[in-house]
Amino acid sequence: MAVTREDLEQNRLRAALGDSPVASSLLTEAALEASLASTLARLSAAHGDCQDAWVFGYGSLIWNPMIFHTEAARATVHGYHRGFYLYSRINRGTWDNPGLVLGLDRGGSCRGVAFRVPRDHAEREFRVLWRREMLTGAYLPRWLPTEINGRRVLALAFVMNRAHEAYAGRLPDERVVGCLREAVGLYGPAREYLQRTLIGLASNGLHDPYLDRLWSRLQATDAANSPSATTDAADATDTAPLPDPYLSA
């Protein structure tokens, strides 16, 4: 199922999740609106009501932002890093076979893409984001100092809520690869999420060694478990070149 901007504007995603196991954990519409208003108020307090808003994308927002923006630029946030820290039991997995999606967690830095949203469009565009990213409360909206083309701005980013039951914490690569390789959810396979994020980063001249490593290990696991694998494959060196790291599935 591909969720569109219109689906979010009409609140259809909430309706679709109403009969799912996650229904009881959805934030109320009133709670979402209060969170949105508080986030916009913090921007106004810092910069007034005239300055445009920036949104920092580090995962699916890079390749599927869905929001109206007038500029997209490479950006870096400090104090947070990207990782597969959120179990996905609906969008990229199920309750019996959860997938994983990316979140920002404390420490380090992260390179991604920032989107400039005109201030008079911010409330409408942020509401789309809230209905996409904030329904379960697994993320917390934060204004983070962000470097964009040599300037420092505040950008909205969705960081991990460590108190949420779906917070996975730091998992070993083998566990992450297993989830990405096996899980499929409402939006499609979990591995596709990783693949499209890598392509989105590469198309913006960026790369992430952690994500590169996971993709290589995922492909190596595929090769080792393919029907054509021979019984002596386990003895083969793991230094042989892999297929194109992003475009082959």
Q: What's the confidence (pLDDT) of residue 149? A: 92
Classified by CATH at the fold level, domain 5-224 comes out as: Hypothetical upf0131 protein ytfp (3.10.490)
Active-site residue among 29, 33, 133, 192? 133
User: CB of 79 within 8 A of CB of 164?
Assistant: no
Indicate the domain borders of the chain: 5-224
The answer to whether residue 165 is catalytic is no
Q: What's the confidence (pLDDT) of residue 42? A: 94
Beta bridge partners of 81: 105
Q: What's the confidence (pLDDT) of residue 244? A: 41
pLDDT over 60 at 208, yes or no: yes
pLDDT digits (tens, 9 = 90+) for 143-172: 999 999 999 999 999 999 999 999 999 999
Q: Looking at residues 112-133, what average pLDDT do you find?
A: 97
